[in-house]
Amino acid sequence: MCDKITAILVDDEKNSREVLTKLLKKNHTEIEIIGEASNVEEAYRLCVEIKPQLVFLDIQMPRANGFNLLKKFDEVPFEIIFVTSYDHYAITAIKFNALDYLLKPVEINDLNYAVGKAIKNIGQKTNYQAQIINLLHNLETDVTDRKFAIHSGEKVKMLSEQGIIFIEGDGRYCHLTMITGEIFTTPKNLKDFEDYFGIKSTFIRISKTFMINATHIKEYSKGEPFIIKMMNDKVFEVARRKKPEVLERLREVK
């Protein structure tokens, strides 16, 4: 690998490109900016012609957003650092696919982390193709069974949303119990999963600690206590304050 990492900046705002250029030149001399684009069409042409190793990709742009650039490739041939103003769902989807992003205005610590990780990935030829494909798939509005990335040792596993029976919150972590019997731990909390799945999913928060997948409910009682039994025979007691909300959600998803 050459000493310099070649990069292009893709952002419709000239000022944003200038700010990022200054930050990179001051703090990361190992990055050589070899091109800039203000829209997806320009960016695609640059990627094909000059083949950058790294693309700083703005998500919100006129006519076509940054994700549309990735859809033009059968296999994305460069490392990506997404750059975005606050876009709640897009950021959540990016995080759940173990990809990196910078939030505008860009903070130097975030830039250092993202660039450091990108350089490492390029050096090790780390392949994030599965996560990128999955991210684009998950951003479609009619997806019924999304997948997301979980780090498992030195590997990244893509887990199916509908393969989860229940999720247990444990502070800053969550433990995911799968229909296979496997249990995975991830450094995300239950609120992260609530935001990612959304209110139209089959996942229901039943207490401070647990979220269940209604698809895998075996039976439940409507009395007191409100008990739910899952397909793997795990039994949960629904928090009393949650009962009306859970019953309503069960009527919607069952």
What is the structure's pLDDT at 231? 95
- CB-CB contact of 99 with 135 (8 Å): yes
pLDDT in tens, 135-161: 887 776 555 667 888 877 777 888 888
pLDDT in tens, 86-135: 766 788 888 888 789 999 999 999 999 999 999 998 988 877 887 887 78
Q: Is the pLDDT of residue 2 over 70?
A: no
What is the structure's pLDDT at 1? 44
Angstrom distance (rounded) from CA 232 to CA 196:
24
Angstrom distance (rounded) from CA 37 to CA 83:
14
The mean pLDDT of 212-230, rounded to a whole number, is 92
What is the structure's pLDDT at 142? 53
What is the structure's pLDDT at 14? 94
Residue matched to tokens 């940054």? 66
Q: Is the pLDDT of residue 241 over 50?
A: yes
Could you give the 3-state DSSP secondary structure of residue 235? strand
Q: Is the pLDDT of residue 65 over 80?
A: yes
Please, which residues bridge with residue 220 across strands?
228
Q: Which residue has the higher pLDDT, 153 or 174?
A: 174
Position 82, amino acid: F
Homologous superfamily in CATH for domain 5-137: Response regulator (3.40.50.2300)
Q: Write down the mean pLDDT value for the chain.
A: 89
Angstrom distance (rounded) from CA 57 to CA 110:
15
Q: Which CATH class is domain 159-253?
A: mainly beta
DSSP for 54-84, please give it: EEEEES--SSS-HHHHHHT-SS--SEEEEEE
The mean pLDDT of 164-173, rounded to a whole number, is 94
What is the structure's pLDDT at 249? 87
What is the structure's pLDDT at 74? 87
Residue matched to tokens 């496997």? 182
What is the structure's pLDDT at 237? 94
The sheet carrying 227-230 orders its strands as: 217-220, 227-230, 235-237
The mean pLDDT of 207-221, rounded to a whole number, is 94
Q: Which residue has the higher pLDDT, 254 or 31?
A: 31
Domain boundaries, the chain: 5-137, 159-253
Strands of the chain, DSSP E: 5-10, 31-37, 54-58, 79-84, 101-103, 147-152, 155-160, 164-170, 173-178, 183-186, 203-205, 210-213, 217-220, 227-230, 235-237
pLDDT in tens, 9-61: 999 999 999 999 999 999 999 999 999 999 999 999 999 999 999 999 998 88
